């Protein structure tokens, strides 16, 4: 019953998507850019799903593009959720080391989470395995609209989830020990495999010298996977350059890809001590440039260390860190985004599922502004910064010519608590229209007039 209701609701929310083309021009009272600057009486032109021009009221509209005029509205690039484990049928498999997993197999396109994301003006979400892991698997960037995962996917190369912060029931020592042992076991297996490959070639050579006819191996049609040299990290060992991707199982293949530096790493390091351990591990493995740190509000205590690392940071959970003085028992509250900003750390925000207010990126960014974070920085944390962290800054998060034709139409300032999302457009097609949102209509029937 729930599935049927979800499918019906999603069809109602996204119904215009199939009916609309990929070209539209919208002229509104304001166009607000990701840096907070505003174009009065602005116009956004999208052709074939891509932004082709942004300008004022005098911007020329191609003859074959329909013009939509909304003089009281504000056009905004839309919010980006940098890191989330919502929208899946389960946040994490119960396997500590699972680099072979992919959120593609868990994302539920009819989850209410995506419906709510559209209502809130979110146009892209980085879906990652949960934090209860060591190596969690691959994530992907999706749009909150579409009946299949393929239709939702913006980029399937978001990266790999890791966790230095301990899993439930584990200590930090156990977490780090398991990570080290996983790598040690992998390297033992690689050394053994390399030696076996070397011995096999020597045996084959000896047999040929003895006059035997050695049949050529059958071509499986994927020469790339059978080529040696897949293992590139670390010191050389006998037979290393003979190991091919197809020689390894899924778990080994995923770990080698991480250590080769082929994956962007989203590392859960909630506390200051976790950040210190993460920094040490990244330096030892030479993977610092691949890392995005996912932290809690306690990370403000390691703000200088994060600034020294120079890596992007996603703040997950409550933005306030609250602790009590052990002697006076007085409560001390620290606003983590402001501390990180003052230290020079580039950060993105992550909403808090299931909590009224914090479950909206607009609320999170507004809170930052209230607590002293510059408006431009707060806006970047929910627009351009997530796009940069994903490696998609040329595609989404702003109004660059050639970028994806994504935008949200508000009836006021996107960060004003009283503003409402009127429409959401993805790739030049309408994905959400408040006027046809039947579930919202039913919810508001009892609202006081």
Q: Would you list the domain boundaries of the chain?
A: 1-77+398-449, 80-183+247-392
So what's the pLDDT on residue 11?
44
pTM of this prediction? 0.89
So what's the pLDDT on residue 3?
42
Q: How many angstroms separate the CA atoms of 184 and 288, rounded?
A: 20
Q: How many angstroms separate the CA atoms of 287 and 208, rounded?
A: 43
If you classify domain 1-77+398-449 with CATH, what class do you get?
mainly beta
Contact residues for 299 (Cβ-Cβ < 8 A; gap 6+):
269, 270, 271, 272, 275, 293, 306, 313, 315, 336, 340
So what's the pLDDT on residue 16?
39
Q: How many angstroms separate the CA atoms of 324 and 341, rounded?
A: 24
- pLDDT digit of tens for each residue in the chain (449 aa)? 444 444 444 444 444 333 344 899 999 999 999 999 999 999 999 999 999 999 999 999 999 999 999 999 999 999 999 999 999 987 677 789 999 999 999 999 999 999 999 999 999 999 999 999 999 999 999 999 999 999 999 999 999 999 999 998 999 999 999 999 999 999 999 999 999 999 877 666 655 666 666 666 555 555 556 789 999 999 999 999 999 999 999 999 999 999 999 999 999 999 999 999 999 999 999 999 999 999 999 999 999 999 999 999 999 999 999 998 888 888 999 999 999 999 999 999 998 877 666 778 999 999 999 999 999 999 999 999 999 999 999 999 999 999 999 999 999 999 998 999 999 999 999 999 999 998 888 877 765 54
CA-based max dimension of the chain: 95
Buried-exposed string 286-311: b where 16+ CB fall within 10 A, e elsewhere: ebbebbbbbbbbbbbbbbebbbebeb
**Residue 427, φ and ψ in degrees, nearest 5:** 55, 35
Radius of gyration over every alpha carbon of the chain, rounded to an integer in angstroms: 25
CATH 3.30.465.10, domain 80-183+247-392, yes or no: no
Burial of 446 (0-12, 13-18, 19+ CB in 10 A): exposed
Chain position carrying tokens 């329909």? 66
So what's the pLDDT on residue 214?
61
Residue 12's nearest CA partner among 151, 119, 86, 107 is 119
């Amino acid at each position: 019953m729930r599935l049927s209701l979800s499918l019906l609701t999603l069809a109602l929310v996204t119904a215009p998507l199939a009916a609309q083309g990929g070209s539209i021009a919208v002229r509104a009272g304001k166009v607000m850019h990701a840096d907070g600057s505003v174009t009065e009486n602005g116009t956004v032109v999208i052709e074939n799903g891509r932004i082709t021009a942004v300008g004022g009221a005098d911007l020329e509209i191609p003859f074959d593009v329909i013009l939509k005029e909304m003089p009281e509205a504000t056009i905004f690039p839309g919010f980006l959720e940098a890191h989330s484990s919502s929208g899946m049928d389960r946040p994490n498999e119960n396997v500590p080391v699972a680099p072979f997993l992919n959120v593609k197999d868990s994302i539920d396109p009819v989850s209410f989470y995506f419906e709510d994301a559209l209502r809130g003006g979110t146009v892209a979400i980085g879906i990652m395995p949960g934090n209860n892991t060591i190596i969690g698997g691959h994530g992907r960037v999706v749009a909150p609209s579409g009946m299949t995962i393929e239709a939702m996917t913006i980029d399937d190369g978001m990266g790999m989830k890791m966790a230095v912060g301990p899993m439930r029931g584990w200590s930090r020592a156990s977490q780090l020990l398991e990570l080290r042992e996983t790598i040690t076991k992998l390297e033992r297996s690689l050394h053994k495999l390399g030696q076996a490959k070397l011995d096999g070639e020597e045996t084959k050579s000896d047999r040929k010298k003895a006059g035997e006819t050695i049949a050529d191996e059958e071509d499986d049609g994927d020469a790339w996977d059978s080529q040696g040299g897949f293992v590139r990290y670390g010191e050389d060992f006998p037979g290393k350059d003979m190991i091919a991707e197809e020689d390894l199982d899924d778990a080994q293949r995923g770990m080698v890809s991480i250590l080769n530096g082929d994956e962007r790493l989203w590392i859960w390091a909630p506390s200051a001590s976790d950040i210190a351990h993460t920094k040490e591990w990244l330096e030892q493995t030479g993977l610092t440039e691949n890392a995005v740190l996912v932290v809690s509000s306690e990370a403000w205590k390691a703000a200088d260390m994060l600034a020294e690392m120079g890596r992007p940071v996603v703040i997950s959970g409550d933005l306030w860190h609250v602790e009590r003085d052990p002697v006076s028992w007085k409560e001390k509250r620290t606003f983590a985004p402001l501390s990180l900003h003052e230290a020079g750390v580039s950060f993105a925000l992550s909403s808090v599922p299931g909590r009224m207010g914090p479950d909206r990126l607009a609320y999170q960014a507004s809170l930052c502004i209230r607590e002293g974070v510059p408006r431009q920085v707060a806006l970047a944390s929910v627009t351009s910064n997530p796009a940069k962290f994903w490696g998609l800054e040329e595609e989404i998060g702003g109004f660059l010519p050639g970028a994806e034709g994504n935008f949200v139409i508000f009836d006021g300032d996107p960060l004003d608590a009283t503003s409402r999302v009127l429409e959401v457009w993805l790739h030049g097609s309408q994905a959400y229209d408040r006027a046809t949102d039947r579930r919202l209509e039913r919810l508001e029937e009892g609202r006081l007039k």
